[in-house]
Amino acid sequence: MSQANTVLARLNDLPEGEPVAVDASIDGETESLILFRDGDAVRAWRNICPHAGRPLDWSPGKFLRSKDGLLVCAVHGASFELGKGECVAGPCRGQSLSTVDVSVYEGAVLLGHR
């Protein structure tokens, strides 16, 4: 199976509006990704804060959210909006999470574009 056909999750298994961590093989390396479901669309980023290069989750797969719904890095408090993954507050303001291409096909979230 090619990387572009790798199933990361089932769309119906992703909670609406909540970040979820999954592992994926990208270029032969296992990486933690953040999936974020918005209706029938899914966005994905590498689970790495651009400030310090550490995972954003405070415990594997557990993410902090601000009262405004921002994704908050557990290490230094950088806050990311979940539309484009841009840091809007904290030590890496103006930088963004590293986007990973995903697509949804027949209820499956796939790595890359179909």
Number of domains in the chain: 1
Q: What is the CA radius of gyration of the chain?
A: 14
pLDDT in tens, 18-67: 999 999 999 889 999 999 999 999 999 999 999 989 999 999 999 999 99
CB 90 within 8 A of CB 96: no
pLDDT beyond 60 at 105 = yes
List Cβ neighbours of 34 (8 Å cut-off, separation of 6 or more). Answer: 19, 20, 21, 44, 45, 46, 47, 56, 63, 71, 97
pLDDT of residue 46: 97
Distance (Å, whole) CA 68 – CA 101: 26
- DSSP string for residues in 18-75: -EEEEEEEETTEEEEEEEEEETTEEEEEES--TTTS--S-SBTTB-EE-TTS-EE-TT
Domain that holds residue 60: 3-111
Q: For residue 104, what is the domain's CATH number?
A: 2.102.10.10
